[in-house]
Structure 1
Amino acid sequence: MHPAPGGPSPGNHANNVRIDPQQLAMLWQLAARARDAQTEATLGFTVVNETLSLLPYRQAAWWRGTAPGTVAAVSGLPESDPNAPYVQWLGALCRVLARAPETAAPSAADATVAAPTERARAFTAADLAVDPSAAHVVQDWQAWWPEHGLWLPLADRSGRSLGGVVFARDAAWTAVDCALLGELAQVWAHAFAAFGPRPSWFERARVILKPGRQQRRVLIALAIACVIPVRLTVLAPAEVTPKDPFVVRAPLDGVIDRLYVQPNQPVAAGTPLLGLDATTLQSRYALARKDFDTAQEEYRQTAQLAVTDDRNRLDMAERKGKLDQSAVQLDYTAQQLARVRVSAARAGVAVFADPNEWTGKAVAVGEKILLLADPAHVELSAYVPVADNVDVKAGATITLYPKSSPLATYEARIDSVAYRAEPTPDGVLAYRIRATFSDATARPPLGAMGTARIHGNWVPLFYYVLRRPLTLARQWLGW
C-alpha cells in the first residue's frame, strides 16, 4: 500500500532512521485525524494535544502566522487566553523563531540530532541567546518551559508561511522525533491551508508573472490579446414608436368633455375621437345669434324709413356695418362650436395613455392630446446616454432585444442621431436615435420596449477596455 499524498514517508528525510511500526501506525492515524478536521480550531486542538500519543512532550502550542501572529491553541487548554502571561510569552517566542530562523539553529551538541530534517528544528535557551531581540524570551525561559524545545514551521505549497507548532520537553529531541514531526508538518500545513484565506488576485498574478518562461508566455499572450480587433458597442433603452404619426391637438381653448376612443383602439377616418365642453360656446353662439337678429331688424327698419326720409339714408351705412359685424361674430362662434368634436383625419390606432387623465382637463389651443399611428409603419427610438456615446453615425446597425419577447431580436439601421442631448423621462441626458427596421415583414409591435445594442467602429481590445478609464482620467486631469 502506498502512502497518501502528504502522508507519512519518513524515508524522505533520512536514510538511516529506523521507526517503530507502532509509531508509523500512530503517525498514519494522526494524519487521518488532521485531514478529517471540520474546523481550524478542531485541527489546532488535535495538533497540540493528540500528538502526545506519538511522541512524549510536556508543552505544545500552535502559532497562527497571520500578521501579527497569535497563539491559537495550547496543549492542555480547551481555549487559549491571549492575555495570559504564558500565552504572551509563547507568542513572543514564536515570533522570534519565525522571524529569525537562523537563531533557532541546533547547538553543536545536537547537530547530529536535527540533521535528518529540514523542517523540525531543535533549540534551547542558549541557541536563542545570540539574538538580542530574544533577551526577554530567554530571561523567562526557566519560569515557563523545560530545557529542550522543537520548532516546526508550517508553509503551503507556494512557500507562504502558515505559522508553526512548538514543542517542549526535558529530554533532547532525537532524529526519529524530527523525522516523524517533519512528516506530520506536511499534513498539518496542507490542512491549515484549506482553512486559511484564499490567495488574492494580486498574489496569484505575482506567482504567474514570476520571471521565467511562463512570464514570457503570459506577456506575449497579453500583447496579442490587446491588439485583437473588437467592435465598440453600447446598450441603450429603446422603444418602438410610430413613424410619421398624425398628431391630434386641441382645436381651441376649453375643457375636454370626454374621449370616444380607448388606448390602442383602431379607428377609421372620420371616427369621433374626443369632444370639448360646449356650454360656454353655446352661450356665446346664442348671444351672437341674438345680436345678429337685432342688427338685421334694425337694418330692415332703417331701410324702409329711408324710402321716405332722407335722414334715415345716412343711418343705413351704420346699420349695415353693425349687421356685418354681428354676422362675422355669429359665423366665428358657429365655426368654434362645430370644432368642439374632433374626428380622425385618417385611419390608424389611437395612441395615448389613460382616458381618465384627459377627461375634465383644461387644454390650450394646439396642445397635443393623442396620436394616430399606423401599426405597420413603425421605427425604433433609442436613447444613448452621453457617458456611453461611442460616436454613433447614421447607417450603423442596431439590434433590439424586446422585454416582452426574450428570444426575439430585431435588426435596424440608424437613420438619424440627434446632435443635441436632451433629458429623458428618467432624467438622464441622452442622444435620441431613430432607426428603421431592416426586415419589412418582421417588426415588433407598436409600443414594445427593450434594450438596444448599438454597434460602433472596430477598435483594438486594449482601447475597448480602457476607453472609459481614459475618459475619466482626461476629465479629471484636464488633458
Structure 2
Amino acid sequence: MNAVERATPLVSLLQLQRRAREAATVQSLGFVIVNETLQLAPYRQAALWTASGLGQVAAVSGPPEPDPQAPYVQWLTLLCRHLMREAVPAGEVAVAALPELVRADWDHWLPAHALWLPMGRDAQPADAGLLLARDDPWTAHEIALLQELVHAYGHALQGFHPQKSWRERLWRPWKQGKLRRWVLAGLVLGGLCPVRLTVLAPAEVVPQDPFMVRAPLEGVIDRFDVRPNQAVQPGTPLFSLDTTALRARMEVARKAVDTAQEEYRQSAQAAVTNDKNRADVALRRGKVQEKVVELDYTAEQLARVQVKSDRAGIAVFADANDWLGKAVNLGERVLLVADPAKVELVAWVPAADLLPMAAGDVLTLYPQGAPLKSYEAKVQSVAYRAEVTREGFLAYRVKAVFDAGQAAPRIGQLGTARLHGGWAPLVYVALRRPLAVARQWLGW
C-alpha cells in the first residue's frame, strides 16, 4: 500500500467531519451520517438513532426520511432502544445476546455483521448511536476510524439540541436503571422506618377554676372600674350598672308607700266611729306592707348595681369599651377573676386528625411570638364529641395542665400544641390523611 492509499481514509475522514459541521439542519446531518459515511468504510445498511423524547430512528440509509410505521423501522427501534438502554459499547453487535423478539427477525432485516457506534461527548452518557451493517466482519482499523468520525458526528448533532435545563440534567441520572433501583430501595426502607404520630392543634392558655362575675340584674353597664389584667382584691369595684331606671322605680315605690300609709290612717280613724270601716283596716294594713316590700326590693337592687370582686386575682376580659352601654341580662357573664399562677391549656384537635389520647399523655405548647420557648403539659381530659370552634371547623376540646416545675405562661397566650401518639411506619404517617379521605369517598 503506497502513501496515497494510506492517506485516502484520512482525507475521507476530514471531508466527512467538514460535511457534518456544515450541515444546516438535523435532517441534512442525518443524511450525511447514514449515506456518506460509506466513503470511509463500506456497508450495506445504516441507521441513526437519537434519544430525543422516547427515542426514535432519525435516519436510515436510502430514503430521505424514515417511515415510523414501516416494519423495518419499528424493528430497528426495538434493536436500538435495547442497545441504548443496556449501554452497549462500540463494536460488533452480539446477536446471541439480543432479546428473543429482536433476534428472531435479525436475518430478515440485517446482514450478519452489524457495528454499533454510540455517540456521546466527554463523560456524558450517549444520547445517539449509529448502526452500520454488512456481510463481512469489521476490522479493528475500520472501527477505530469510524469511532473518530462518530465522535465528530456526535459533536455536530449536539449543536442542534437546545441546552438542557437543570431539571433535565437532574433527570438524566434517574434514567439509569441502577440508580433508579437504589433510589427505590432507599424509599422503601425509609417508608418502613418507625416514626412518632403527631398532630398540631391551635391552643390557648386559660385560667384554671376562675371566678365568673355575672350581671346581678337586667340593665345597662354604665361604668367599668378596672382595666384588663388588672390585679384586684376582695371588695374591689369591678363595674356598675346604670341606676336611672332603678331610681325612678324606687321613687315610685316610695310614693306608693306614702299613699298606702295615708289610706291606712284614714281607715283606722273611720273605724273608731263606724263599725263598717273596721273590715277595711286589715286590707289597708296588708297593702301598706306590700308597698314596703316593693320599696325594700327596689332598694336592694339599687345597692347591687355596683359589682365587687369576691376574691383576689386579675380581671380577665378583652376591653371595657365592648361593654359600656351594653344591655345585659340577669346572670350574663361579664368578666372573670382568675389567679395568674393557676392556668391550664385548651387545645382544639381537628376531628380529621384525632389521635388515640388518654389522661396523662404529654403534649408540647409552642407559644406565638416566642419561637425559642416551649411548655410541657399533661392531658387532663378529652371531649367525647367534636364541636364547632370559632374558626368554623369541627374539633375535639383537649384540656391539659402544665408541669409544676416550669414557669406558667400568661393567661390568654395563643400558640400551637403538638400532641404525640404511638409509633407507625413513615409511609403510614405520610398517607394517613389521603387514605382516610379515600376511604370516606369509596366507602371501604
Which of 284, 291, 297 matches 2:256?
A: 291
Q: Pick the aligned partner of 2:193 from 223, 228, 251.
A: 228
- Aligned residue runs from structure 1 range 11-410, under 5 A: 56-57=18-19, 60-61=22-23, 74=24, 91=27, 104=34, 110-111=40-41, 127-129=61-63, 133=67, 159=125, 161=127, 179=148, 182=151, 185=154, 195-199=164-168, 207=176, 215=182, 219=185, 221-410=186-375
* 8 Å contact kept, 1:285–1:330: yes
Q: Could you tell me how far apart the structure 2 residues matched to 1:280 and 1:239 are? A: 40
Output the CA distance in 1 between the equivalents of 2:18 and 2:192: 64
Q: Which amino acid aligns with 2:316?
A: V
TM superposition shift of 1:59 = 6.8
Q: Percent identity?
A: 46
Deviation at 1:273, TM superposition (A): 0.6
Q: For the residues of structure 1 that align with 2:404 and 2:158, how far apart are their CA atoms? A: 65
How many angstroms apart in 1 are the aligned matches of 2:388 and 2:60?
Answer: 79
Q: CA RMSD in A?
A: 4.4
Corresponding residue of 1:461: 426
Structure 2 unpaired stretches of 5+: 1-6, 51-58, 69-116, 131-142
8 A contact 2:49–2:128 mirrored in 1: no
> Contact 1:235 / 1:452 at 8 angstroms: preserved in 2?
yes
Change (3 A) 1:224 1:190: farther
Q: Following superposition of structure 1 onto structure 2, how do residues 394-433 of structure 1 map, counting pairs within 5 Å?
A: 394-433=359-398
C-alpha deviations, 1:38-88, integer Å up to 9, x for none? Answer: xxxxxxxxxxxxx99x96449734xxxxxxxxxxxx4xxxxxxxxxxxx6x
Contact 1:154 1:189 (8 Å CA) reproduced: no
Structure 1 pair 60–109 and aligned structure 2 pair: CA distance change class (3 A):
closer
Q: Aligned residue pairs: how many?
A: 369
Residue by residue over 1:197-219, the C-alpha shift from the partner in whole angstroms, topping out at 9 and shown as x without a partner, is 524988765646668xx55x953
Distance in 1 separating the partners of 2:37 and 2:17: 22
- Judged with a 3 Å threshold, the aligned counterparts in structure 2 of structure 1 residues 338 and 183 are, in CA distance, closer, same or farther, namely same
Counterpart residue identity of residue 129, structure 1: P
Distance 2:440 2:178 in 1: 33
Residue 449 (1) aligns with residue 410 (2):
no
| Contact 2:17–2:153 (Cα < 8 Å) also in 1 | no
Q: Tell me if structure 1 keeps the 8 A contact 2:377–2:400.
A: yes
Q: Partners in 1 of 2:36 and 2:156 — Cα distance?
A: 24
The one-letter amino acid paired with 1:179 is E
Question: SS state of the match for residue 111, structure 1?
Answer: coil
TM-score (norm 1): 0.65
Q: Is the 8 A contact 1:295 1:319 kept in 2?
A: yes
Structure 1 residue 265, shift from structure 2 partner: 0.6
